[in-house]
Structure 1
Amino acid sequence: MSRDEIILLLLKVLAVAVLVFLNGFFVAAEFALVKIRDTQLDPLIARGRRLAKVTRRVLGNLDASLSACQLGITLASLALGWVGEPIFSALLHPVWGLFRMTGSESEHLREMVAVVVGFTAITFLHITAGEQAPKWFAIQRPLPVALFVAQPLEWFHRLSYPFIWVLNRASLWLLHRIGLEPASEHDGGHSEEELRLLLATSRTRGSSTTLGREIIL
């Protein structure tokens, strides 16, 4: 490989690392915003923490913030596949010489192997470093993660708002065409009947308290 080809390959590897980070950023943001409680921000706001105020502002517009997260995840994932897989064609180039697969007759086999190896490696990297690890970290530490992602996420939402608006309108149109009404993305509250069922279950397990029963009932 020439010097220019090596530099180009290193730039692509760097781009893959950045895209994995961005994917993980949006995944962590999505889970942290859903997990965090608004009351956790009160002490920080009382102490004048600017990022806590930004986080509350983001939580106040949660549906739009989650849409921005989903858009970011989608764009990062697509770009990762587009940039990442061709890298392995270059990385596997020295291997072809070892197995004497440099002729034109083995070109299709080389392409197939490179695609399979590239797809497997990028998928592994994407799921582990770009999804699972950020998700678990955000679930375990929602407050610091929410404070970290709030400001960049707000900026990203402002920049991508026209695109998000078009996507939301198109999604609403599709829902209306099949006779469904959209619901809030964070509308995860239990109905009265579900709460009573949960209370009955907790009674049988001995895990409910008098205060809990009074709140539910």
Structure 2
Amino acid sequence: MAIAIITLIILILLNGFFAASELAFVNLNDNKVKRMADNGDKKAQKLYDLISRPSLFLSTIQIGITLAGFLSSAFAADFFADPMAQALYDLGVPMSLSALNSISVVVITVVLSYFTLVFGELVPKQLAMQKAEAIANIAVGPVSLLAKVSAPIVKFLSFSIKIIFKLFGADPNAENEEATEEDIRMLVDLGRERGTIHPVERVMIENIFEFNDTTASNILTHRTDMIGLSADSDLNTVLETVNKYQYTRFPVYENNIDNIIGVLHVKDLFMYMKKDNGSTFILKEAMRAPHFVQDSQTIDKLFAKMRQENTHLAIVLDEFGGTQGMITIEDVIEEIVGEITSESMEPNIYDEEITKLSPKQYRVIGTYRLRDLEHTLNVSFPTDEFDTVRGFLINELGHVPAKDDHAVVEFKHLTFEIEGMDENRIETVLITVNEQMDDNSKETSGQTT
């Protein structure tokens, strides 16, 4: 009896081994195994050879599971059914021996199914999901050996599978569907929830997905905020502008900002500062050729073009050929990694872009982008129509507010109060987050106080 029980336990554990192996192989990272194999890892080479032929290892493992299950059922019925029926009969159960034998088979099958389900399926598969690589490394040897021993049976099974697939018009050798953007986003969210992906990393990955959907017009510095140099500026004027704004590149225009004729790089000024005290300085000779891009160009293509042309600043043109603004390669990179603080500027200059005053109140500058505000406040804005908070508010009001108006705009559950104006431009805005409004409530309204 003891030998029979030990044999049954071995068969159940064998079933669990094959069940765990199957799930471990399926859950392996194929690319990681391939890299390890390419680097000379012998076990990884053996493992990749196996998992690269899914029909082989699946058929082999299924043979093992089927044999273990069949043998355990037959063995249990043969060794335990008759003794159990005889024991019940001797105890005086009022039934025939043949009937008790049938009942014993059913009881033994139920008990065996429980132990097989728990120890031969569920527990091994749970372990395989958590320790796929470790279990796969252990299983690759025995499964490979079984594949060689059962090669004729595996080939016959593979042939049968191909025939059935063809009957249904499917390709048994077809590759798995490629991971979609949505699949990757779900994995990123899962990683964030489990703590394996840092929130900053999640934001960067999300930004990469939006990279080819964002256009130059979404991230440019608007023409009204550009700091340019007139082509007839002397050296002293140029140096004053450079010292005041601390930029490394300045667009050079002739007559007006719509006629950009070049870009001045600050390092090109050094040779003129030592030469005749700057008396022979001519800005047109010091500047470099400008690079122009259309406002509709996506920033992934723009980034590739700027790298190819080795330029750090491009002038953005609208559909009529006028200057809409300018864009730097830093602006493009910031779309992935977030705001980059310049060493030459005080930190508070950047902090003023958006400041959290309290859990329900923010202060933003007028040129703050609506797309960034969407992420901060989790609110949808008409970003297809407007790029900045300034443009959005002017549209809601229907006019450019006067300096002392302190205009207020209500949008969904947000209150925008215009705090600062510079001539006709909105400089700073106070945003208050109110209680969520009813879906049927009026979403937007503008008023001045």
Scaled by the length of structure 2, what TM-score is found? 0.39
Correspondence for 1:72 = 64
Aligned amino acid, residue 132 of structure 1: L
Q: Is the 8 A contact 1:29 1:145 kept in 2?
A: yes
Selected match of 1:131 from 121, 138, 143:
121
Structure 1 gaps of 5+ residues are 1-8
Correspondence for 2:80 = 88
Deviations 1:119-177 (A, max 9, x none): 10111111111111110011110111011000111011111111111111122222323
Structure 2 gaps of 5+ residues are 193-201, 213-449
Distance 2:110 2:204 in 1: 53
Change (3 A) 1:66 1:188: farther
Partner SS for 2:171: coil
Shift of 1:97: 2.0
Q: Is the 8 A contact 1:33 1:146 kept in 2?
A: yes
Selected match of 1:169 from 153, 159, 162:
159
Correspondence for 1:113 = 103
Change (3 A) 1:45 1:180: closer
Distance 1:176 1:10 in 2: 49
Shift of 1:183: 3.5
Deviations 1:72-109 (A, max 9, x none): 112221222111223332452334322x14x8x61232
Aligned amino acid, residue 147 of structure 2: H
Change (3 A) 1:49 1:210: closer
Distance 1:114 1:186 in 2: 48
Q: Does residue 21 of the first structure (1) align with residue 13 of the second (2)?
A: yes
Q: Does residue 187 of the first structure (1) align with residue 179 of the second (2)?
A: no
Distance 1:20 1:59 in 2: 25
Which has the larger Rg?
2
Q: Is the 8 A contact 1:40 1:143 kept in 2?
A: no
Shift of 1:210: 3.5
**Further displaced range: 149-158 or 195-204:** 195-204
Change (3 A) 1:133 1:199: closer
Distance 2:106 2:125 in 1: 27
Shift of 1:56: 2.8
Q: Is the 8 A contact 1:34 1:186 kept in 2?
A: no
Change (3 A) 1:174 1:50: closer
Correspondence for 1:59 = 51
Change (3 A) 1:34 1:185: farther
Distance 2:12 2:185 in 1: 44
Higher strand share: 2
Change (3 A) 1:87 1:182: farther
Correspondence for 1:142 = 132
Identity of aligned residues (%): 19
Q: Is the 8 A contact 2:20 2:125 kept in 1?
A: yes
Moved over 4 A (4+): 40-46, 196-205
Distance 1:136 1:11 in 2: 29
Q: Is the 8 A contact 1:20 1:129 kept in 2?
A: yes
Aligned amino acid, residue 170 of structure 2: E
Higher RCO (CA < 8 A, seq sep 6+): 1
Scaled by the length of structure 1, what TM-score is found? 0.75
Distance 1:202 1:12 in 2: 47
The count of residues paired between Structure 1 and Structure 2 equals 199
Distance 1:141 1:62 in 2: 20
